[in-house]
Amino acid sequence: MRKAEILEQAGQVEEARIALTEALAAIAALPIRQRNQEKTIALETQARKQLARLSPSSTVKPNSENKQ
């Protein structure tokens, strides 16, 4: 997920989303015992939050700022 942070800071948002998606896929591929560990759950939660923040729908601002 550090890779995604670096990519985002470099302005490579799509690449950051790909890195986060790959991280989530790697977590999903872990045996259930490892997936259920506290640190793994925390990493998954963090990755999902970052991905949601970087999703195109979360970057669209309401048009209410432009009302006169």
Residues 28-62: pLDDT tens digits? 999 999 999 999 999 999 999 999 999 887 554 54
Write out the residue range of the structural domain in which residue 28 sits: 2-54
| 65 in a structural domain | no
pLDDT > 60? residue 63: no
| 68 in a structural domain | no
Predicted TM-score (pTM) above 0.85: no
| 11 in a structural domain | yes
Residue 17 CA, chain-centre distance (Å), reads: 6
| 62 in a structural domain | no
Q: What pLDDT score was predicted for residue 18?
A: 96
Q: What is the pLDDT of residues 19-28, one digit of tens each?
A: 999 999 999 9
Q: How far is CA 36 from CA 1, 2, 24, 26, 40, in A?
A: 18, 21, 14, 14, 7
| 60 in a structural domain | no
| 19 in a structural domain | yes
Q: Which two tokens stand for residue 68?
A: 């006169």
Q: What pLDDT score was predicted for residue 57?
A: 72
Number of domains within the chain: 1
**Residues 24, 27, 33, CA angle at the centre, nearest 5°?**
155
